[in-house]
Homo-oligomer: A and B are copies of this chain.
Amino acid sequence: MGKIRRIQLKSKKYVPLPGTSPGSVQLYEGSLKPKITAYSYGSSACHSEELKSFSELDQHFKNHPTLTHWIDIRGIGDLTLYDYLEKKFKVHKLVLEDIANIQQRPKIDEYDDYLFAVSRMLYVDSELEIENEQISFLLFPKVLFSFQENYIDTVDPVIHRLKLGKGNIRTGGTSFMLYSLMDIIVDNYFTLIYRLGDELETIEELLYRKPDKTLMYQTQSIKRAMIMIRRAVWPERDKINDMIRSDSKLIHKQTKTFLKDTYDHCMQVIDLVESYKDLTTSLIDMNLSFISNRMNEIMKVLTIISSIFIPLTFIAGVYGMNFAYQDPETGKILEHNMPELYSENGYLYTMGVMCLIAVIQMIYFWRKGWLSNR
């Protein structure tokens, strides 16, 4: 079980400049050059082709006129991409801006000829940071575009299924492909949540054994991750609901049955997130009560030791006083000045009284329950 590494949230990258004309595309710092892969498929065929530029796309569509196309674009840092979409596909400027502005919430926007959809991909990267990336989709009757921020391979199982021809994937049209991609994104939420959930359970166990300041930080950062996931899933759910209720011809009736399934998955994700968020709150409460308990423990040790020895030290101090037995000048015996010091066994009696005091106090503390380790 051992060490727990702190999972961090990666922070935002895209700061829009106020005052730019609405609909003007603005590439974020560090955006990647697009890698374009075109998949063209029908019930009996499936071609994939890596393209070097968008100008090759027209030729590609001409080559496979009867097939359905999925253009998988990874990296959105190239203005020719937006030019191409605007000119060839008459995509609205605001849509292009939203593809480039990577802080969209999940949503579905219906236009006359196409649908524009946004999802958020959440995953833990190799440096243990939780990435929150945007993937957006343009759904045309025969063509689906997907735009990923990075080169990561979250949706590769769909490509695998497409090549194998499993399920309805080749015959469902572009809307089924869109569904398949959204579905795998939601499935990945489970992976992330279970991972965080496992960490939480480890933290809980460690907490019972030995509370620790760093465990507090861990819990707080997992709580924040849960809040971030919730912020992604609620609008995702609304988006899928909008798609199910949509009148658009672009979404086939058969696909809607499958979307209901994804909707249920979203609800399960929300349930899990809420459960784990409650758990983090419990853990933080528990941690605070542990801190208070430890304080009590420390105070008890101090109080027991001080309470026993301070009175004894006082008694020792009394018999350390130098009251004289004789007046040094007159030699007169000062009878009441500390006769105990000169009595036989005075020392023994004093030690006995001290022991008695200590024993009485121990009994008092034992009855208070302070000697047991609670």
Q: Which of B231, B326, B333, B370 contacts A271 (CB 8 A)?
A: B231
Residue ranges of A at the interface with B (Cβ–Cβ < 8 Å): 11-12, 15-16, 18-24, 92, 94, 97-98, 103-105, 107, 109, 156-158, 160-161, 166-167, 169, 180, 183-184, 187-188, 190-191, 194, 201, 208, 210, 212-213, 216-217, 220, 223-224, 227-228, 231, 235, 257-258, 260-261, 264, 267-268, 271, 274-275, 278-279, 282, 284-289, 291-296, 298-303, 305-307, 309-314, 316-329, 333-334, 336-338, 341-348, 350-351, 369-370, 374
| Distance to closest chain B CB from A317 (angstroms) | 3
B314 touches A306 (CB 8 A): no
B190, B210, B292, B294: the one within 8 Å of A15 (CB): B190
Task: With both chains docked as a complex, state the minimum distance between the C-beta of A359 and any C-beta of chain B, in angstroms.
Answer: 15
Measured between beta carbons, the chain B residues less than 8 angstroms from A223 are 282
Q: Determine the residue in chain B with the shortest Cβ distance to A103.
A: B268
Please give, as numbers and ranges, the residues of chain B lying within 8 Å of A338 by CB-CB distance.
322, 347
**Chain A at the B interface: SS class:** helix
Q: Which residues of B have CB within 8 Å of A303?
A: 298-299, 301-302
Which chain B positions have C-beta within 8 A of A213?
A: 293, 374
Question: How far, in angstroms, from A365 to B159 measured CA to CA in the complex?
Answer: 60
Closest chain B residue to A300, Cβ basis: B298
* A336 adjacent to B344 (CB under 8 Å): yes
Q: Are B184 and A19 in contact (CB under 8 A)?
A: yes
Q: A296-B291, A323-B319 are in contact. Are A180 and B22 (CB under 8 A)?
A: yes
Across-interface contacts of A257 in B (CB, < 8 A): 92, 94
Report Cα–Cα, A212/B322, bound state, in Å.
Answer: 47
Complex CA distance for A313 and B318, rounded to whole angstroms: 8
Do A24 and B167 form a contact, CB below 8 Å, given A18-B184, A94-B258, A316-B318?
A: yes
Chain A to chain B contacts (Cβ below 8 Å), 8 pairs: A98-B261, A227-B278, A291-B296, A295-B296, A312-B317, A317-B317, A324-B341, A337-B344
* B292 and A302 form a contact (CB under 8 A): no
Give the residues in chain B near A369, CB-CB below 8 Å.
210
On whether the beta carbons of B18 and A286 are closer than 8 Å, the reply is no
Assess A322 versus B321: contact at CB under 8 Å? Given A220-B282, A314-B316. Answer: yes
A284 CB contacts on chain B under 8 angstroms: 285
